């Protein structure tokens, strides 16, 4: 009995220590959750002159949407970053930690699209599912562009899209090219129905080559695209399974999910405690826009719909991108009519080529884009 009591005592101490550690961690996270963006400071610890670090839940076409605006000098050009997913914005601090923020070169606006991010979590009752469409998001993006031009007294802005964001950006530029200085696409969409088929064939071939019976069975179960008989959510789920196998055979060159990155996000003052808990507190909500928009995303064909650009375009593509197939992105690039265009292929990179090679990505902005 004495042994059992000792074991029970030490077990209680162990459990108590774990609970205490968790509570301390939550307290530290809460202290560092003011919801106020970290300012840019000079060598004396004072706010850098002409810098900006703010976010606001701006009413865009009747719906709150989170805009985080950061830059060391408001006289710099404006860059609107259009995230992918669909419905998958990154906390702006991740861009800084992964060195793809460009906040010393531009005044950067990180836009969390309708149905995504903090504003959706906080004001979801004001955002009907029926309004979460590509057409509405494109219109939102144009309204944000007008807002940024007015706020910073600029005639034109730069626009960067990644993955799904390349399609949103493409339709924005097609509708109002006079608002934009240049377009930068990363993980460029071209003909997504065909891309999905090529990607599926690639991973099936790799799985067969490696005698990967688990992946083979998973791929057989979801079937080869397209998916005319699947619901929107079933289509998205099938894509998720296929993407995990893609990642298995074409691993990213970047280190995105290490402890320091997680710690940086959890201790970021730009988010409130409630916003940091959002992904864990309501995982279905965070995926709602993804599920709603996936059928649209699946059927995007810019080769057909946007064959001509009226502004300079720059496409940064990973050699091993099987989310938006590189062969199709290059075919699209070659077919495009534009006043100027440049193609940058990052060897060994995957869908997020800028994240795989941030220094190379940055150098393109400095030596190519801003010098034009």
**Top-confidence residue, 196 or 8:** 196
Co-location of 94 and 224 in the same domain: no
CA angle 286, 228, 205 (to 5 degrees): 85
Q: Which of 249, 276, 297 is the last residue of a domain?
A: 249
CA angle 60, 62, 67 (to 5 degrees): 25
pLDDT in tens, 49-61: 999 999 999 999 9
**H or E element at residue 66:** strand 63-71
Q: Give DSSP secondary structure letters for 312-331.
A: -EEEEEETT-TTTTHHHHHH
**Top-confidence residue, 22 or 88:** 88
- Contact between 185 and 161 (Cβ < 8 Å): yes
**Top-confidence residue, 217 or 18:** 217
**Top-confidence residue, 259 or 114:** 114
The number of domains in the chain is 2
Provide the CATH number for the domain around residue 280: 3.40.50.1820
Co-location of 147 and 207 in the same domain: no
Co-location of 114 and 200 in the same domain: no
- Indicate whether 16 belongs to any domain: no
Amino acid 132: pLDDT: 94
Between CA 321 and CA 308 the distance in angstroms is 24
Amino acid 35: pLDDT: 61
SS3 (DSSP) at 336: coil
Which range has highest mean pLDDT (29-33, 116-120, 150-154, 255-259)? 150-154
Co-location of 355 and 295 in the same domain: yes
pLDDT in tens, 149-176: 999 999 999 999 999 999 999 999 999 9
Co-location of 101 and 239 in the same domain: no
- Indicate whether 12 belongs to any domain: no
pLDDT above 90: residue 124:
no
Q: What is the mean pLDDT of residues 291-310?
A: 95
- Indicate whether 273 belongs to any domain: yes
Co-location of 66 and 95 in the same domain: yes
How much is the CA Rg of the chain, to the nearest whole Å? 22
Give 289's pLDDT tier (boundaries 50, 70, 90): confident
Q: What b/e sequence results for 157-185 when a residue is b if at least 16 CB atoms lie within 10 Å of its CB, and e otherwise?
A: bbbbbbbbbbbbbbbbbbeeeebbbbbbb
- Indicate whether 74 belongs to any domain: yes
Co-location of 213 and 356 in the same domain: no
Amino acid 89: pLDDT: 86
Q: Which of 231, 249, 267 is the last residue of a domain?
A: 249
**Mean pLDDT score of the chain, rounded to an integer?**
87
Amino acid 264: pLDDT: 62
Assigned token pair, 56: 């606001």
Co-location of 243 and 262 in the same domain: no
- Indicate whether 172 belongs to any domain: yes
**Top-confidence residue, 26 or 305:** 305
Co-location of 199 and 137 in the same domain: no
pLDDT above 60: residue 184:
yes
Amino acid 340: pLDDT: 97
Q: Which of 208, 231, 249 is the last residue of a domain?
A: 249
Q: Which range marks the domain in which residue 199 is found?
A: 193-249
Kindly report which listed range (85-94, 312-321, 338-347, 358-367) carries the lowest average pLDDT score: 85-94
- Indicate whether 47 belongs to any domain: no
pLDDT in tens, 251-270: 776 655 555 566 666 666 66
The separation between the first and the last C-alpha atoms of the chain, rounded to the nearest angstrom, is 81
Amino acid 97: pLDDT: 77
- Indicate whether 207 belongs to any domain: yes
Co-location of 84 and 173 in the same domain: yes
Give 84's pLDDT tier (boundaries 50, 70, 90): very high
- Indicate whether 11 belongs to any domain: no
pLDDT above 80: residue 40:
yes
Co-location of 172 and 310 in the same domain: yes
Co-location of 97 and 229 in the same domain: no
Give 99's pLDDT tier (boundaries 50, 70, 90): confident
């Amino acid at each position: 009995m004495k042994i059992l009591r000792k074991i029970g005592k030490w077990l209680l101490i162990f459990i108590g220590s774990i609970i205490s550690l968790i509570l301390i961690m939550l307290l530290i996270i809460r202290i560092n959750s003011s919801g106020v963006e970290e300012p840019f400071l000079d060598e004396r610890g004072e706010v850098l002159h002409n810098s900006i670090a703010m976010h606001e839940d701006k009413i865009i076409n009747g719906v709150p949407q989170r805009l985080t605006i950061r830059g060391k000098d408001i006289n710099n050009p404006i860059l609107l970053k259009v995230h992918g997913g669909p419905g998958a914005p990154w906390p702006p601090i991740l861009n800084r930690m992964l060195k793809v923020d460009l906040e010393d070169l531009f005044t950067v606006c990180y836009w969390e699209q309708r149905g995504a991010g903090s504003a959706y979590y906080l004001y979801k009752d004001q955002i009907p599912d029926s309004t979460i469409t590509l057409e509405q998001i494109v219109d939102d993006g144009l309204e944000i562009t007008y807002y940024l031009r007015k706020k910073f007294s600029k005639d034109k802005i730069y626009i960067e899209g990644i993955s799904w964001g390349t399609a949103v950006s493409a339709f924005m530029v097609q509708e109002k090219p006079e608002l934009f200085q240049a377009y930068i696409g990363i993980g460029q969409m071209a003909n997504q129905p065909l891309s999905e088929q090529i990607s599926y064939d690639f991973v099936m071939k790799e799985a067969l080559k490696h005698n990967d019976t688990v992946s083979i069975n998973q791929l057989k179960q979801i079937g080869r695209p397209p998916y005319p008989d699947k619901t929107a959510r079933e289509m998205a789920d099938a894509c998720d399974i296929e993407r995990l196998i893609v990642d298995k055979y074409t691993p990213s060159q970047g280190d995105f999910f290490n402890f320091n990155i997680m710690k940086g996000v959890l201790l970021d003052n730009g988010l409130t405690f409630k916003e940091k808990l959002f992904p864990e507190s309501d995982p279905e909500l965070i995926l709602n826009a993804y599920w709603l928009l996936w059928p649209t995303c699946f059927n995007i064909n810019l080769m057909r719909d946007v064959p001509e650009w009226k502004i300079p375009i720059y496409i940064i593509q990973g050699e091993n991108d099987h989310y938006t197939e590189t062969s199709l992105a290059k075919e699209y690039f070659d077919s495009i009519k534009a006043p100027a265009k440049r193609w940058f292929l990052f060897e060994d990179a995957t869908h997020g080529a800028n994240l795989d090679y941030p220094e190379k990505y940055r150098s393109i902005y400095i030596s190519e884009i801003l010098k034009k």
